Structure 1
Amino acid sequence: MNQCATSVPNHCPTQARAGVAIDASLNPSMYARMFPELPSFQADEQFLHALGRGGGLCDCGDVDDSPSSLGDTAAGWPIFGQFVAHDITADRSILRSHTQTAELRNARSPQLNLECLYGDGPTGHPFLYRRDDPAKFLLGLDEADLQRNSEGIAIISDPRNDSHMLMSQLHLAMLKAHNAFVDEARLAGVANDRVFEEAARQMRCHYQWIVLNEFLPTLVGRSLADEVLREGPQWFRSSHGAFIPLEFADAAYRYGHSQIRHRYQLNLHSDPIPLFPDLLGFREVPRQRTVDWRLFFDAPGSTSAQRSKKIDGKLVRALIKLPVAVTGECEIEDYHSLAVRDLQRGQGVGLPSGEAVARHIGIAPLNAEQVGLAPMGWRGETPLWYYVLREADVCTGGHRLGPVGGLIVAEVLIALIDADATSFRRSHEEWRPRKRLTELLAP
């Protein structure tokens, strides 16, 4: 089958597909392999560092954003994708050359339930909510920023959502969306002791709908998203409860690192600026850097928002040279590169090569010329994370994920929602949204 086939089904040949049912011994706090039968990829660490460090193939240098380097995806979607990642995964293990995956623990429940937003609710985390109205989130000064402590650190359920200002502003917009649902519930006559619950239900249902019907088709293509929604995941089946596969968390879902632009215009009164160091988080957001989300997401019938960078295997310099405030002090200079961290993380948890996954699901792998590692003298197969990025470039021109990366992401996100008895697809199948993402984030 063609390695870049896009017709339905575009991710597997016509022969029978064998889904991997989740082992009953797994629990939701664990990470495990989606394809445990595949051998782990192995390469010399020097090769991984050479590929990912400044000046390597993953470094796109200081060239400014240009039409040729940009995809057709609105610039806000990779930021939204990061928000989703923080909602379902939180691996706090340190970066190692080799990691005992059985010891890894996910500090998030593998559900798209906005745990990163709500925490333990008004009773468990009262500091997130207003004293005079516990159904609503407490916001910062003039509701232009998150509430912060005396050192400028955001007081939120997940501190990673304060790592840069685009994330903290998106988190703020989601808090405001919940508060708006509280107002709507009261206008509809919902009993006061049920207002928080109803607003949270509406927020979660809208969020899950947006993930499946706006975000996922943009990322993997409408045909693949519709096929997996219709037929269910064929390779990742959550028959014993959900967990996060390492092929997803440490490879395919790190696609967004290649979509980050060199510079962003935050609002109509600002000039474009880089993510780091200009938008570094863990500090107050100045008024002039508040985000107008109309510049990041297309309104229906419009494509006026900024575009993301193409998914092509290259990262902007701001991510190749991460500031110490993000990485902490590093004895190894290369660990300031997010590409090096992604590559080493994938090998450390024993991920298979991209070619191995492609063959396993019936896709013709990319050839050596398409992957492009030959100039480095590399004759082996490809780290899964880098393969997913190169596949996107070869198969879609960098506009969305290719068949291997798209299958992993689509099946996992859909499986997590379908394994959740409280999701709208399980408990409110007839439910339909009243708002798209652009309306949720409206000022």
Structure 2
Amino acid sequence: MVVQKVADASSFRTSELDTRDSISLATPPGFRHLLGTPAPSQRFRAFGIDPLESPSHDAKLRGLMYRLSRRMDAVIKWPPQARSAEYWENPFIPSGYTYLLQFIAHDLVHSAIPLSVAGGLGRGTTNARRTPLRLETLYGSGPVGSPHIYALDAPSDDRRTKLRLGRMRWKERQPATGCPFRDIARTQAENVTGIDRSIAGVRVALTEALVADPRNDDHAVMSQLTALLALLHNGLVDVIRGREDNAGPNGRFGAAYKRFLCARGALTAIYHSIIRNDLMRRVIHPAIYASYSGPAPHFIDRLASADGLAIGDWEIPFEFSHGAFRFGHAMVRPEYQINDLSLHDLNNTLEKSSINDPANMPLDETWMVQWSRFFEINGSTPNFSRRIGPHFSDGLGNDQIFPAFDETERVGLLYRDLLGAGLAGMWSVDALIAEIGARRPNFIAMSRLLADRAYRVNQLREWLVSAPTYGALTDEDIETLSNDPPLPFFILFEAMQQMEGLQLGLLGSIIVSEVIFGALASVSPPAGGGSLADRLDLVSREFYLTNVLQGIPDISNMAQLVEFTTEIAELQQAVPAFL
């Protein structure tokens, strides 16, 4: 795809700081820059060279990101903590939130190919998401546009209101009791070209995951989270059906779509409540959370919550998608206690999908997530996420899932994150701090790491030289990285230095808050306007004369969502255990 040249960009698309450089305005559709497009002098540089202006230096950029990724292989020596946990664990963020973050990322960004693999802007890197945080990653284009992900409620084809689920598989003999519909829906591809991956005479390969977004089958925990939300949607459909008037035979078609839209609206309102009141409270610096979580936050990014944008106008900043929001990768654990009986390492977890292991699909009982292992529910001790810092679990270097794609032969997700940031033409850390400081000086003043450049450079330099056996960084590498660190690396470094890895630091929190709270503020009715009960009442009265959603509890965290799903899906006695 040809890079879009936006020479006539409006004030919403172009920074007043620079309108002369056409290269700085070249962004793929669906993306933009935070705080306006940076001038060439404000963009990230490697060895003093702007990667956008000097493609001939591509090899030097790749080599630098390769060596930095190797330096980040060194285990972080975290300070001890009071709560009972491993030194690298974050007892304040159970590991289920790691995958809620991944789900949200899928709901905000959907590109045909990663920027790091594409090697440059505009080569299939368009962001297809233009309606942020509307659960498009779960619902696709609805029963008409994405019928393969919806189940028929009746013999006729006019009542697709529920999301498909699939039977789980029993490793051994199926017990007399149990809850078989616990996996996402999967099927085989028959009578089509391609290689048959079935095990002849043993098992059919279920190569096709019937989900709106194939990334929601990236691994076992992700597909289980998708199934959880599908179970909640389906339960809401049943609640609504039980309270609606009998429409008669001529009204069934319309009734089905009212029911679907009402259930989708209700789940979206619950989703927004959890993002606002639970997830962001856990990961964002407390002072920044307090500034953005109220009903009328003051955004410094003009497009953060632009009201009245038509569908197709919303765009996500590279500084979020390829910068700050990559922090979730550092939270991934090396292993997971999936349920009371099953402990799986990360490599095994990542390989459990219809693409990678179709002959062993659907998931069996050893992969059925017991949600009290992923969220704190009724006093449970869940798997905790990793502390946030410049280090990833070894499993994210899996060469089958994240193979090498360039001359560095570096496998893994970490190198991809760093290289993608280097190719995106993002603000440099220094320029971004200066621009935020000009707009909200009180934010920058709260952090010496941000306010004092000499101190920041020295702290980065000290860390880079502190593990000389990792990365083989040269003196030139250390100087360029200290003075101009790639944004995703700095966000992790800041969280480590400023918050001991328990939350994001100030800069990371500002970027994430501008985008997430901005997207919530753009939702109609406003996400900050009233309680969840008020939102649900508004949703219901769009379609019904009475509030068919009355009685749904005030769900403001993931534990409450799981408990409510357990109730309305009648999973209290599920085998394997759901809760």
TM-score tier by shorter-chain length is: 0.7 to 0.9
What is the deviation of 1:149?
Answer: 1.8
Paired position in structure 2 for 1:68: 87
The offset of 1:304, in angstroms, is 2.0
Match for 1:379: what amino acid? E
Distance, in Å, in 1 between the alignment partners of 2:496 and 2:96 is: 20
The 1:92–1:427 alpha-carbon spacing in structure 2 relative to 1, beyond 3 Å, is farther
2:64 pairs with 1:47: yes
Deviation larger for 412-421 or 401-410: 412-421
Give the C-alpha shift of residue 235 in structure 1: 2.1
CA 1:334/1:258 → structure 2, altered by over 3 Å: closer, same or farther?
A: farther
Distance 1:97 1:135, change over 3 A: closer
2:163 alignment partner in structure 1: 137
- Which protein has greater RCO, CA pairs closer than 8 Å, 6+ apart? 1
Does the Cα contact within 8 Å between 1:119 and 1:125 map onto a contact in 2?
yes
8 Å contact from structure 1 (residues 237, 415) kept in 2: no
Counterparts of 1:307 and 1:215 in 2: how far apart (Å)? Answer: 14
State whether structure 2 residue 250 is matched by structure 1 residue 186. no
The unaligned stretches of length 5 or more in structure 1 are 1-19
Equivalent position amino acid for 1:236 in 2: D
Question: 4+ residue runs of structure 1 moved beyond 6 angstroms?
Answer: 24-28, 426-429
- Counterpart in the other structure of 1:440: 561
In angstroms, what is the RMSD of aligned CA positions?
A: 3.0
- 1:242 counterpart SS class: coil
Provide the identity percentage: 25
What aligned pairs does 1:15-414 form with structure 2 within 5 A after superposition?
22-23=12-13, 29-35=29-35, 36-37=37-38, 39-43=42-46, 44-53=61-70, 56-60=71-75, 67-71=86-90, 72-94=92-114, 95=116, 99-100=120-121, 104-133=125-154, 134-141=160-167, 142-150=180-188, 151-152=205-206, 153-189=208-244, 192-193=255-256, 194-230=258-294, 231-238=296-303, 239=306, 241-271=313-343, 273-280=344-351, 281-282=353-354, 283=358, 284=361, 285-299=363-377, 302=379, 304-319=381-396, 321-324=397-400, 326-327=401-402, 330-332=405-407, 334-362=409-437, 363=444, 364=451, 365=453, 367-371=456-460, 372-374=463-465, 376=473, 377=475, 378-380=478-480, 381-414=484-517
Partners of 2:373 and 2:287 in 1: CA distance: 27
Q: Which residue of structure 2 lines up, in the alignment, with residue 14 of structure 1?
A: none
Q: Deviations over 1:206-259 (max 9, x none)?
A: 001111111111110344223113342422222355310000000100001111
Contact 1:418 1:425 in 2 (8 A): yes
Instruction: Kindly name which structure, 1 or 2, has the bigger radius of gyration based on alpha carbons.
Output: 2
Q: 1:332 to 1:26 in 2, by over 3 A?
A: closer
Identify the residue that residue 420 of structure 1 maps to in structure 2. 523
- 2-structure distance, mates of 1:358, 1:58: 27
Counterparts of 2:75 and 2:131, CA distance in 1:
34
Q: Secondary structure at the match of 2:347?
A: coil
Higher mean C-alpha displacement, 33-42 vs 326-335: 326-335
Q: TM-score, normalised by structure 2?
A: 0.66
Segments of structure 2 that go 5 or more residues without pairing to the other structure are 1-9, 15-24, 47-60, 79-83, 155-159, 168-179, 189-204, 248-254, 438-443, 445-450, 467-472, 537-552, 567-577
Deviates more, 1:158-167 or 1:105-114: 105-114
